[in-house]
Amino acid sequence: MDSMAVDFSRRRLTHIHSPELPTSTCPDTSPLPVMDLSAALSILRPPIASSFPHFASLPFPDPSAFLAFTQHLQNAHKYSSPSLTIPSVPPAPVAKRVALDVQPPASPQSCSSSSFISSSPQQSPHRKQAAPIPDDKKDEAYYERRRKNNDAAKRSRDARRQKEEAIATRAAFLEQMASRRGLQLSVQLARQLHSSSKRLAAFTFSASQADPSLGATSKMNLCQAVNNAMDTALKSDPSTCLFGEDVAFGGVFRCSVGLQEKYGATSKMNLCQAVNNAMDTALKSDPSTCLFGEDVAFGGVFRCSVGLQEKYGKDRVFNTPLCEQGIAGFGIGLAVAGATAIAEIQFADYIFPAFDQIVNEAAKYRYRSGGLFDCGKLTIRATWGAVGHGALYHSQSPEAYFAHTPGLKIVIPRGPIQAKGLLLSCIRDDDPCLFFEPKLLYRTAVEEVPVGDYQLELSKAEVVRQGKDVTMVGWGTQLHVLMEAAQIAKEQLGADCEVIDLKTILPWDVDTVAESVTKTGRLLVSHEAPVTCGFAAEIGATIQGRCFLNLEAPITRVCGWDTPFPHVYEPFYLPTKWRVVDAIKKLSHF
């Protein structure tokens, strides 16, 4: 910490001068002048200092930034145990050494101290002013000096502007990445971390000013707070992953120390590898699990089952004839006998020969037997959605056909983390499940996935982007289209869109969507399947009944057209981000 303090003091930041210490001309290695923080805060921002007196002993450059940071931590960790709550203790008024990069107040007379802040050295009153140069003395050398000075000033302004843009870009990046992992850092904190990474260990705060959910019982530095925050996020959501340079051993500043030992390692996987890892975990944990389908033994068309037969044998991983009805019927019988069945249909387009087995047998087996028999340990996997050149029989999205059938569960992931956790939940669920895998994301979606065994809750939607103007609902590949459209709408239209990943189509999470629409007043639902009788219609009808008095505009659907899936015109058929942006514009201006 001492070495960090030395490096921190060497930074060329504006000093706070107290009346006892005149402006210093010492070298950069000299210690900073000392000044009471209460006086400094009253100089910097008198309204903030008066509104938040408990920040008086806080060595943080911007109280509002710290307030935003602790508020984000509190929101991110609202599930913390009540036993971690600590009593509020007023901070002791002590002088702190600080170095702040701020602008001088508009009215120095309103300050509670005679100290002042200046971004440049004050000119001595005894210094003689340079005499103006007469016009007749302005020769070529004079104008050359003027030109050079102007060029130098322009370069300085450009460099300063580029630095500010870099800081803003870095801040936005940190905030986006943090929000995806459950730890939302404020823009103010991101700016501070960008300007000096060593400040991370230098900022401290007392337990009375910390979020009680952090579990602080004494003074804690920011690294410890971040470690506690990430610990809580990893504990509350099994899909949360922590990754970066050297995080496995704790990171440069030891902010992630002990987390890998507690929660296990992660590995970079695409969606195909995540599905393979999930089935590997299921086969390993349950000896009754069997995997079967067309060409499954050698790895399948998309290589999702590669290596599993060699690992678990031909009796548990095996091929079947090219008969989807037979595959589904065999899976139902295997599940009724007490085994865990994982059946693969090569393409969702080919699932319709098995429609009778799935709808009339699997979905109704428990009901028609009065609970005496069931085939709940049946999971049917099928590749799903458009891929760019699949045409009629390799591009369909048939989820709406099965969503009309009580007794089934239908799940569609958006990425590798969800694919593994949701597939394991389907395999171990007590109801027969259809697990549709977006084939376009098999190789393109890559994430850090926990290598251990974990499950994600079914029938629970996820708000992947917060917003206040428009609610957008999607699943699978289309969710990524909605995320791009939301960013474009923010930049071009100023519309702040909230994006929800439904994940489970049947039964779907009505409450999460209704809560969002109550807040925004506008709903847009998008999927690749044709618009007529698509699942977007069910969502719209349900939300219309739940949130009618809160709607500010008609519910909008952006879906595929009511035609067979074309080959040449596939880009025109799919609901692109530009179609979504146009719909957002109409919703916002209604």
Residues labelled catalytic: 324, 394
Which residue carries 């609970």 as its tokens?
Answer: 371
Is the preceding peptide bond at 571 cis, omega within 30 degrees of 0?
no
Question: First-to-last CA distance in the chain?
Answer: 57
Which residue carries 């602008």 as its tokens?
Answer: 103
> Beta strand 409-411 with 446-450: parallel, antiparallel or unpaired?
unpaired
Distances (CA, A) of 164 to 157, 161, 195, 487: 10, 5, 10, 22
Q: Is 17 helix (H, G, I), strand (E, B) or coil?
A: strand
Distances (CA, A) of 95 to 16, 35, 64, 390: 13, 6, 20, 69
Closest by Cα among 414, 402, 411, 472 to 440: 414
Q: Per-residue DSSP letters for 481-505?
A: HHHHHHHHHHHHT---EEEEE--EE
Residue 164 — φ and ψ, nearest 5°? -65, -40
Q: How many CB atoms lie within 10 A of CB 112?
A: 13
Distances (CA, A) of 565 to 392, 571, 578: 5, 11, 20
Residue 406 — φ and ψ, nearest 5°? -65, 145
Q: Distance (Å, rounded) from C-alpha 305 to C-alpha 295? A: 9
Closest by Cα among 371, 348, 386 to 561: 386
Q: Using DSSP, how many helices (H) and how many strands (E) does the chain show?
A: 22, 16
Q: Distance (Å, rounded) from C-alpha 574 to C-alpha 111? A: 61
Distances (CA, A) of 215 to 82, 222, 388, 499: 10, 13, 50, 32
**In contact, 76 and 232? CB cutoff 8 Å:** yes
